[in-house]
Structure 1
Amino acid sequence: MSKSHFVLVLLFILSFSSLSSQVQSTNDALNDILKKKAAHFKSEINFNKAQHFFIKKEWDSTIIYSIKQISLGSNKELTNYCRFFRGCGYSKLSLFKEAQTELHLISKDFLFYPLVNKTLGQISLQLKDYKKAIYYFKEVQKSALPKEDYKISAIYSNLGICYLHLEQFSEAEEYFFKSLKLKEKEDDLLSLIGLYMNIANLYYVQYQDKKAIPYFEKAYVLSKKTKDFDQKEYTAFNMAMVEENRGNFKKALEYRKESEQWKDSLNNQNKVWALANYEKKFAVAEKQKQIKVLEIENKLKNSQRNGLFFSAIGLLLIITGGVYLYAQKVKNSKIILLQKNKLDELNAAKDQLFSIVSHDLRSSVNALKTSNSKLSATLETKNYDELNQLIIQNSSIANGTYSLLDNLLHWALLQTKQLYFHKESVHLHSIIQQIEYNYKPLLFDKAITFENLASKSIFLFVDLDSLKIVFRNLLDNAIKFSNQNGQIKFYTKEIDSDFCEIIIEDTGIGMSQNSIDELLQDTDLLSKKENSEIIGTGLGLQLCKQMIKKNDGTFFIESEINKGTKMIMRLPKAK
């Protein structure tokens, strides 16, 4: 990779990560004012609901009740607040044009107008309109709003990013170091790591390697103290590129391996080891089968020799030997017949599984092939917007195919009784948080609102790995069959002291009762559904059902067409 190419990669990664780490949550001062306003204007029901959902960050509900207040109310002050609510809500949902429209309608005498400028600056930065972003951030600097209401270090950092994109390097350097002076006193490791990488990038694009490399190294060292795998991966990757440009390929390889290690989750490593172990056991089993066949052949030969030997002794012994051989033949025939029937069942399952999986794999590969053709054509036309969409599409296809193969591996291990189960007490709310983190990009891509409403006091007595597999499959299905701007939530119901219900509810396309009955059919074999384009192959759900059963739980579905779906599990609680 040439140095110029390396700079472009860094500029994309670092500006995005820095921005995402600097977006500030709703400040305490604003929340206090909103609660006082709600208490003062008790009769304004729509405003009260809008501010309530705004504080809870439930953006769809915030937008709905805000427009009701604007339409039905006449108070100018409350209208300004509601415009601000809608602007923030649209911004959080990545509807930036709508957000700008709402925020520009707010009058400048609004108490929190500096926060309006701050939000407009962040939107402009997202839209890569850097000159506008600079204007808005500088307006925030001029405001009389106390600095406790926003981090001035974040404003400086954002200004530095804007100037860096505009290649006004001296201004970028000035603001980055203003931000650094403040951030080194703040307790925000991720933001400080992003700032170090931005400063390094600033010097690197100017070919000032001696100034840039110490900041890459600072970011890398600091990333050791954080649990954020993305930052660990980025900093290690940057160090690999630095060493590669230095010509130290051995050290570059070490950093690149470290970057790849952070990229691959521990779960993926376990899958690789599980697959290798499965292949080893399969090879051993085949050898043992061959040994047993040879042993049986030797026994038959010995029986025949014994029969001939005893025939010389007398007719009685010949008859006895004949009866014995006949009995052995009947017994062996029964064994062979049972083995043949079992083999036929296994072949039937294999054929069905190959039919299902090959159909899905072929569709995924064809889609990937078509998308790659478009990608090549787009590279020639240099249409970067379309190129970005095709890359996202390729990633989605690859992730779907990987999920199918992952489910196939676990299903095979489960069917051959080689999947290790170890039940222990696990904290339900924390597990759901982990699963939500892994699926945040998919949720963000479809603007789906996710809620983890599971009780924080519930502990389940289950196998942790299998529970994660179940939750990942069910959440993946919920995202797949949810519409844009949908909602997904996890919540619990305590049945009694021994069991708890975990419900995964979505607002997606739903399914008919016939589809539910087919999916819940109690069978060990897979079947290709007539409406598979809607409900999928059923492999993931088949895996979920069997793993829930292995954990002494039950599973059922409630759904209606176009009214969403509830996936309900009943699992034992830890005592």
Structure 2
Amino acid sequence: MNNLKIILLFLIYPSIILCQNKTYIDKFELELKKKAIEYKSEINFNKAKAFYLNKNWDSTLVYSMKQLSTNHKTLADYCFFLRGISFRKKGLYNQAEKELTLVSNKFIFYPLVNFNFGLIAAKTNKYQKAINYYLKADSALINKNNTSQINKINMNIGNCYIHLKQYQKAEKYLFKNNNLLLSKGDSLSLFESYTNIANLYYEQYKDKEALIYFEKAYTLSKKIKDFEKKFLGSINMAVFEENRGNYKQAFVYRKESEQWKDSLNNQNKIWAVADYEKKYAIAQKQKQISVLEVENKLKETQRKTMFFSVLGMLLLLVGGMYAYAQKVKNAKIILSQKVKLDELNATKDQLFSIVSHDLRSSVNALKTSNTKLTNSLETKNYSQLDQLLQQNNSIANGAYSLLDNLLHWALLQTKQLYFSKDSVHLFSIVQQIEYNYKSLLLDKAITFENAVSKNSFIFVDLDSLKIVLRNLLDNAIKFSHQNGQISMYTVETNNDFCQLVIEDTGLGMSQNTINELLQDNELLAKKSNSEIIGTGLGMQLCKQMIKKNGGTLAIESEPNKGTKIILTFPKTAV
């Protein structure tokens, strides 16, 4: 029961405690646009504004800092606030607090500063401190009749009291917020309110009362267009029914939640691809500009050479030698750049060729499977229908993993992936990854063992570590036999590094395949001896991320005897 309860809280709280006051933010963004127009000559401020509105937090940080270096006092508070929000969005809460502290209390949107202090405190589990900041934000509001501003504060205060286990105070604020929302008919906010109240009762083991509000939230999610809320509504009902032992109904809710999750992922992928295409077009234009600049420099050198030739034979000789040396040097540079560019283009063409072939195969498989699915529905062949649905899910997961790896690979190549190293509890991360892949493990009846030492702490970037472990576990499952076994365990080698081993009893691979996988910038295809290798993009992504985290990768394997992946990461300094 405890495990199910932890999962439920994990799903609910991120969408509630970090609930922003959208009405107040809209006013801030409107004022920000006005300031940008008023100070249009401040290029860095205008760029910071544009990147902030596009949620490009890294670029916002860069240009807001450049603007601060100009010592423009009128825009200083806006820049500090933009930096505080950007650091908070990136999960760098200490830096966010430092920047927000620099905002003057005379800033017109200072209640929003206190509100963000509250969000940061809540995110770092300092709930009483968060409540104090929310109350400060409430007392500083200019327009007390603006219920949308008060609602968000009441909601966040109520959730903080839940964490503090002061349930009566939590109930007071949550129902105060709920009653205001009922009169307004705001479906999205009302969904969050019902979920909060359900969680309040669930925390107190009042399952009967909790179920009423979970069902209200689930019913309301049907009317909301937000895929994330639809997913939360159905997954909360699934976990609740599992906790009650009603596994049949829980399965129905969980299948529905997966559909909403797929819809949300598809929407995010479309936006990500569009953004990538835009950045690629800009990069191509910049390359063209660079080539033109090199050509202009060469022409300028030629004009200077002709000018000096008029001064005399001696100057002509010296000038000719200088021009010739410069020309040879520039030619070597251009030739070197051309060779590198050709190599990059060849890699890009090979990657796109392989990825497009795999995507076409996945789409074609989905098309064929959907035709069979339609026929099964018409003939009411429900056993085949369930098999086809599982097959479609497997194909979609494979295509999603390919696109996800492609996106992260592109970000690495363009140096846009942000790395923030911190101390990470390795056992907990492996436990999370195991939960994410539980359905795939169950489908193939694979036994998974998490034998990682609970005392292992490594100093790495958390997001990139998860990407590495997801790719390696996905490969282990893909190449494992039915009823196989996968285990993750640590090996103590020395005091500075921790060794994590991922071992399976699957197909294994030859030494030639291992050598090719460990080569840099190698993209692989299916070999003539029928070894199922794939594109190798996931492994290349893993290698680059392991290297950036100061780690190493080794592979031990034999055909039909399983595979052992050995990762080495630096330990957290004591």
TM-score bracket, shorter-length normalisation: 0.5 to 0.7
Aligned pairs for 1:260-271 (under 5 A) are none
Q: Give the counterpart of 1:548 among 529, 546, 549.
A: 546
Displacement of 1:473: 0.8
Change over 3 Å in CA distance of 1:277–1:364 after alignment to 2: closer
Higher alpha-carbon deviation: 270-279 or 485-494: 270-279
What is residue 524 of structure 1 aligned with on the other side? Answer: 521
What is residue 334 of structure 1 aligned with on the other side? Answer: 332
What is residue 240 of structure 1 aligned with on the other side? Answer: 221
SS in 1 for 2:500: strand
Q: Deviations over 1:362-391 (max 9, x none)?
A: 322221121122122222223222222212
Aligned pairs for 1:535-574 (under 5 A) are 535-574=533-572
Q: Distance in 2 between matches of 1:297 and 1:370?
A: 53
Displacement of 1:301: 3.6
Counterpart of 1:239 in structure 2: which amino acid?
L
Q: Deviations over 1:430-489 (max 9, x none)?
A: 101111111111112122222212111110111111111111011111111222222222
Displacement of 1:226: 7.6
Which structure 1 residue ranges, 5 or more long, are not aligned? 1-16, 22-186, 188-213, 245-251
What is residue 124 of structure 2 aligned with on the other side? Answer: none
Q: Deviations over 1:98-124 (max 9, x none)?
A: xxxxxxxxxxxxxxxxxxxxxxxxxxx
User: 1:378 and 2:354 equivalent?
Assistant: no
Q: Distance in 2 between matches of 1:235 and 1:519?
A: 52
What is residue 314 of structure 1 aligned with on the other side? Answer: 312
User: 1:499 and 2:497 equivalent?
Assistant: yes
Aligned partners of 1:216 and 1:235 also within 8 Å: no
Change over 3 Å in CA distance of 1:299–1:572 after alignment to 2: closer
Displacement of 1:215: 13
Counterpart of 1:573 in structure 2: which amino acid?
K
Counterpart of 1:474 in structure 2: which amino acid?
L
Q: Give the counterpart of 2:357 among 356, 359, 362.
A: 359
User: TM-score normalised to the size of structure 1?
Assistant: 0.54
Aligned partners of 1:473 and 1:540 also within 8 Å: yes
SS in 2 for 1:534: coil
Cα RMSD for the two superposed structures: 3.9
What is residue 428 of structure 1 aligned with on the other side? Answer: 426
Q: Deviations over 1:54-87 (max 9, x none)?
A: xxxxxxxxxxxxxxxxxxxxxxxxxxxxxxxxxx
Counterpart of 1:259 in structure 2: which amino acid?
K
Counterpart of 2:346 in structure 1: which amino acid?
A
Displacement of 1:415: 3.2
Q: Distance in 2 between matches of 1:513 and 1:313?
A: 68
Aligned pairs for 1:463-474 (under 5 A) are 463-474=461-472
Displacement of 1:528: 2.9
What is residue 10 of structure 1 aligned with on the other side? Answer: none
Q: Distance in 1 between matches of 2:302 and 2:401?
A: 55
Counterpart of 2:415 in structure 1: which amino acid?
K
Change over 3 Å in CA distance of 1:290–1:303 after alignment to 2: same
What is residue 258 of structure 1 aligned with on the other side? Answer: 229
Q: Distance in 1 between matches of 2:338 and 2:227?
A: 52
Change over 3 Å in CA distance of 1:395–1:237 after alignment to 2: farther
Displacement of 1:307: 3.8
SS in 1 for 2:460: strand
Displacement of 1:256: 4.8
Aligned partners of 2:301 and 2:323 also within 8 Å: yes
Q: Give the counterpart of 2:367 among 366, 369, 385.
A: 369
Displacement of 1:417: 3.2
Displacement of 1:566: 1.9
User: 1:447 and 2:445 equivalent?
Assistant: yes
Q: Distance in 1 between matches of 2:302 and 2:196?
A: 76
SS in 2 for 1:501: strand
Counterpart of 1:368 in structure 2: which amino acid?
L
Q: Distance in 1 between matches of 2:193 and 2:523?
A: 53
User: 1:413 and 2:407 equivalent?
Assistant: no
Q: Deviations over 1:156-178 (max 9, x none)?
A: xxxxxxxxxxxxxxxxxxxxxxx
Aligned partners of 2:508 and 2:563 also within 8 Å: yes
Counterpart of 2:520 in structure 1: which amino acid?
T
Q: Deviations over 1:14-72 (max 9, x none)?
A: xxx9xx99xxxxxxxxxxxxxxxxxxxxxxxxxxxxxxxxxxxxxxxxxxxxxxxxxxx
What is residue 222 of structure 1 aligned with on the other side? Answer: 198
Structure with greater Cα Rg: 1
Q: Distance in 1 between matches of 2:293 and 2:315?
A: 25
SS in 2 for 1:535: coil
Q: Deviations over 1:278-299 (max 9, x none)?
A: 5565455434333333333333
Q: Give the counterpart of 1:484 among 482, 507, 515.
A: 482
Displacement of 1:490: 1.4
Q: Deviations over 1:132-178 (max 9, x none)?
A: xxxxxxxxxxxxxxxxxxxxxxxxxxxxxxxxxxxxxxxxxxxxxxx
Report how many residues are paired: 353
Q: Distance in 2 between matches of 1:299 and 1:516?
A: 47
Q: Deviations over 1:229-284 (max 9, x none)?
A: xx99997553133xx4xxxxxxx33x555225886599999988876775565455
Q: Deviations over 1:501-540 (max 9, x none)?
A: 21122222333334333333x3223233524642333222
Counterpart of 1:258 in structure 2: which amino acid?
K
What is residue 123 of structure 1 aligned with on the other side? Answer: none
Displacement of 1:331: 2.1
What is residue 509 of structure 2 aligned with on the other side? Answer: 511
Q: Distance in 1 between matches of 2:525 and 2:214?
A: 41
Displacement of 1:224: 7.8
Change over 3 Å in CA distance of 1:467–1:233 after alignment to 2: farther
SS in 2 for 1:491: strand
Q: Give the counterpart of 1:389 among 366, 387, 401.
A: 387
Change over 3 Å in CA distance of 1:525–1:416 after alignment to 2: farther
Change over 3 Å in CA distance of 1:216–1:336 after alignment to 2: closer
Q: Distance in 1 between matches of 2:285 and 2:269?
A: 24
Q: Distance in 1 between matches of 2:562 and 2:480?
A: 8
SS in 2 for 1:462: strand
SS in 1 for 2:487: strand
Displacement of 1:315: 3.7
Percent of residue pairs identical: 66
Change over 3 Å in CA distance of 1:310–1:493 after alignment to 2: closer
Counterpart of 2:230 in structure 1: which amino acid?
S
Change over 3 Å in CA distance of 1:419–1:274 after alignment to 2: farther
Counterpart of 1:389 in structure 2: which amino acid?
Q
Higher alpha-carbon deviation: 441-450 or 504-513: 504-513
Displacement of 1:400: 0.3
